[in-house]
Amino acid sequence: MADGTVNPQDLDDEYVRKHARRGEEWDQARRRLNNEVAERYSQLPGCVNCSHGAGCVEEARAAHALTGLATCLGPDEKWPAEALEPELFKEALAQHQHRTEDLAAIARGHVHSLLVHMRNQDYPINAFMVSRELKGYLQSCRDLGLFGRDELMKLEMDLHESAQKAREAFIKQFRENDQSALPWR
């Protein structure tokens, strides 16, 4: 947002007066402060408007950073306090990071319990079906940006190996006409 674009939500005169640098011209101060506030706003977590239609967190963040100012705030809306005050901005980012870490911990626990559940299935077909569920769950975690790249790759490799074993065991059972291959028959 440091490209000089001024948002329709121009800062009020009192804010500019309070935050202008000594000796800075009025228009220059207004332009600088608008850009600073716009930059902070673009770094805040994506809003509902920017997230709508995004396929993943990265897309929502990109939309928020690039077009968020036009999309998020209507012509009569004011800048949120988190964009106006640097301390509130830092606090908002810290809270978002904390919530994301909490969500990642919950998701991590769920992924590990699904892996254990998959490996403990009595029938290979059931293990393979759990692997499909886990694959979708991991994709959601990827889209939400909950895990780091290395951790996600390790989990996906574990899943792939376990799913492949279950698939091969099921195919072997089925080819041998093992009646337990499809336990619901």
Q: For the segment 142-182, what is each residue's pLDDT rounded down to a tens digit?
A: 988 899 999 999 999 999 999 999 999 999 988 998 887 77
- Asked whether residue 116 is domain-assigned, the answer is yes
- Asked whether residue 38 is domain-assigned, the answer is yes
Kindly write down the DSSP assignment for every residue of 81-92, as one continuous string: HHHH-HHHHHHH
Burial of 64 (0-12, 13-18, 19+ CB in 10 A): buried
- Asked whether residue 157 is domain-assigned, the answer is yes
Q: Are 72 and 47 in contact (CB under 8 A)?
A: yes
- Asked whether residue 133 is domain-assigned, the answer is yes
DSSP character for 53? Answer: T
- Asked whether residue 66 is domain-assigned, the answer is yes
Two tokens, residue 122 = 């009595």
Question: pTM to 2 decimals?
Answer: 0.69
- Claim to verify: residue 106 and residue 170 sit in the same structural domain: yes
Q: Are 65 and 39 in contact (CB under 8 A)?
A: no
Mean pLDDT of 29-43: 85
